[in-house]
């Protein structure tokens, strides 16, 4: 299917690996001119053919700089994908609410919520100037709807991101900018697979080997597909929502979770 994205322009954050890398690859394959922003430019990201920019969006000025770079490179901006985020690094993330310090709460919100707020604020003038074709896609998490499924700092910040997308869609829809959210369930990324990531920490706390946890988690999470979501599957949903084919779709939250969430 032709998504009619050829020669559109996009800014993708958190692009070095996992979902962000898959989104960049998918958009480039659809003919989109992409500026891919990440703290580290990995060889895999460089190989996509996208323009790249090394930037830390958890700080106060990174978002403005990356939006300015997109405007300078493309002269316009059609798509913003707020993917930067994570719950897989730092001190032990599995100890529960009483184990988290103020610093950890602030770090989680900076990365998973405020980075998207700042980047959206910096990019919106260009998106509004796109003449009714601007699109924002925020990458949230199943944890925003089922907050017990991950570190409370991470899932609470993602819930804020989901609410943020709803508010933006209401305010800017009449001005021609669509805003949608994609909320993946467990995805086969470093958060689960890395030896020092959240999955390995959770396995140790549960008394399982890392490999055992990866084997049983999809079933335990209620994923009727019986497997982790692949990054490319999330990227496909993002590309559709960013495309003109989804011109009537805004203010939505799309689950890509293998059927894990059972509520209506």
Count of CB atoms within 10 A of residue 92's CB?
A: 14
For 52, the token pair is 């790249």
Active site residue 154: yes
| Helices of type H across 10-60 | 18-29, 43-46
What backbone torsions phi and psi does residue 55 show, to the nearest 5 degrees?
-155, 145
Widest Cα–Cα separation across the chain: 55
What backbone torsions phi and psi does residue 66 show, to the nearest 5 degrees?
-75, -35
Place of tokens 């950890």: 104
Catalytic residue among 100, 113, 154, 164: 154
DSSP 200-217: HHHHHHHT--HHHHHHHH
Active site residues: 154
């Amino acid at each position: 299917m032709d998504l009619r994205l050829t020669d559109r322009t996009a800014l993708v954050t958190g692009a070095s690996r996992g979902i962000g890398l898959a989104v960049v690859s998918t958009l480039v394959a659809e003919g989109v001119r992409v500026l891919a922003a990440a703290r580290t430019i990995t060889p895999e990201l460089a190989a996509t053919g996208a323009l790249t920019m090394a930037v830390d969006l958890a700080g106060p000025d990174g978002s403005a700089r990356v939006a300015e770079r997109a405007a300078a490179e493309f002269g316009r901006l059609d798509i913003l994908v707020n993917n930067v985020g994570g719950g897989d690094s730092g001190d032990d993330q599995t100890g529960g609410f009483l184990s988290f310090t103020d610093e950890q709460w602030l770090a989680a919100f900076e990365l998973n919520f405020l980075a998207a707020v700042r980047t959206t604020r910096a990019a919106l003038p260009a998106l509004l100037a796109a003449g009714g074709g601007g699109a924002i896609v925020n990458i949230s998490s199943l944890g925003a709807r089922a907050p017990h499924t991950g570190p409370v700092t991470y899932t609470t910040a993602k819930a804020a991101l989901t609410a943020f997308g709803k508010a933006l869609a209401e305010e800017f829809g009449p001005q021609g900018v669509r805003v949608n959210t994609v909320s993946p369930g467990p995805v086969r990324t470093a958060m689960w697979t890395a030896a020092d990531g959240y999955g390995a920490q959770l396995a140790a706390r549960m008394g399982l080997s890392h490999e055992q946890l990866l084997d049983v988690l999809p079933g335990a999470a209620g994923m009727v597909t019986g497997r982790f979501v692949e990054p490319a599957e999330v990227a496909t949903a993002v590309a559709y929502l960013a495309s003109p084919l989804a011109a009537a779709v805004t203010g939505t939250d799309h689950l890509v979770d293998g059927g894990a969430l059972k509520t209506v």
